[in-house]
Amino acid sequence: MLIKIRKSWELSENAVLDEGKYLNRRQILKGLGIGGLIAASPSILSNSVAATSDDPSAHLYPVARNTAYEGGRPLTPEKIATTYNNFYEFGSHKEISKAAQALKIRPWSVLIDGEVEQEQQIDIDDLLSRMPLEERIYRHRCVEAWSMVVPYSGFALKELVKLAKPTSKARYLIMQTFEDKEVATGQRQFWYPWPYTEGLSMEEAAHDLAFIATGLYGKPIPKQNGAPLRLAVPWKYGFKHAKSLVRFTFSEKRPVSFWQKLNENEYGFWANVNPEVRHPRWSQATERDLATNERIPTQFYNGYAEEVAGLYTEIGKKEPLFK
């Protein structure tokens, strides 16, 4: 990013307590005999969830955890994941969580257009009721060399692709964030190429790991993390994870994304995590894990090489994949 990395890694006492609360909820479920792939009955938890959120989708969470996706490291305290954010629409610093509350997430709909059999505008609650929701723990590695381990709820992006019915011409999926200068004051900064746009190849979008997050820590995803829906592609740098999406466009042409428009040299289209390829201004060999405050080695494809490296066997021979 075009910003200075602040040294605000320290965990607060509160953060540790919040983490305890999240794990406790899970332990309660286990105690009720709901372990492994947790199929939580919403009624068991609806009281506590309703008390903590006015999001109309709150009754949907928590959802069953898919244990095929585990973080492999301690979970980041909820307090940190929800107060240390990048969301330039609300400010070019990490403390945007309060400002982001100005975002209105109902009514909200997403447009599916471009190379599809038929254009569709879908209401978010309709979409949520049609998608198979599950929880996955993902490692999340920012290009700024910090990382988190977070429990996202949501659905596999390939489910949305199925719903969209792309034509055979579709080669890329472009995802776009909302645009509203009234609430997102960062969008008044005309030198940024709003709206925030990201893209994936169709092969990436159809990969099991590509996920649309609609929840976080067993609750609806907070506004600062990209409510009501954001992308999560954990083998790529975090800037690919476009937030608060309103449009999915299937395209024959590769899009030029937000950061790529700003600085092609530093933020490329593929953005796959690679400890051996430096960002032009800093090393990517290690990262600060916000859960433990320790600097740890960065892994190739953020530790998901076994799952995704095959996507790039041919492309990798032709162009760099790691910017």
Instruction: Give contact residues for ligand MTE (rule: CB under 6 A).
Output: 1, 85-89, 140, 142, 177, 196, 225, 238-239, 241-243
Shortest distance in whole angstroms from residue 147 CB to ligand MTE: 10
Distance from C-alpha of 300 to C-alpha of 273, rounded to nearest angstrom: 6
In the numeric block, which tokens belong to residue 130? 């049609």
CB 77 within 8 A of CB 16: yes
Shortest distance in whole angstroms from residue 289 CB to ligand MTE: 13
Residue nearer to ligand MTE on the CB measure, 34 or 256: 256
CB 143 within 8 A of CB 267: yes
Q: What's the half-sphere exposure (Cβ side, CA atoms, 13 Å) at 154? A: 32
- Report CA 262 to chain centroid distance, whole Å: 21
CB 142 within 8 A of CB 237: yes
Residue linked to tokens 């320790």? 294
Residue nearer to ligand MTE on the CB measure, 79 or 241: 241
Residue nearer to ligand MTE on the CB measure, 29 or 229: 229
**Residue, CB closest to ligand MTE:** 238
Shortest distance in whole angstroms from residue 5 CB to ligand MTE: 12
Strand ranges in 160-226 using DSSP code E only, listed in sequence order: 172-177, 197-201, 211-216, 219-220
Residue nearer to ligand MTE on the CB measure, 29 or 100: 100
Residue nearer to ligand MTE on the CB measure, 57 or 225: 225
Distance from C-alpha of 278 to C-alpha of 96, rounded to nearest angstrom: 28
Shortest distance in whole angstroms from residue 271 CB to ligand MTE: 10
Instruction: Give me the long-range contacts of 27-34 (CB less than 8 A, separation at least 24).
Output: 29/62
Burial of 44 (0-12, 13-18, 19+ CB in 10 A): middle
Shortest distance in whole angstroms from residue 168 CB to ligand MTE: 30
Shortest distance in whole angstroms from residue 33 CB to ligand MTE: 33
Residue nearer to ligand MTE on the CB measure, 45 or 242: 242
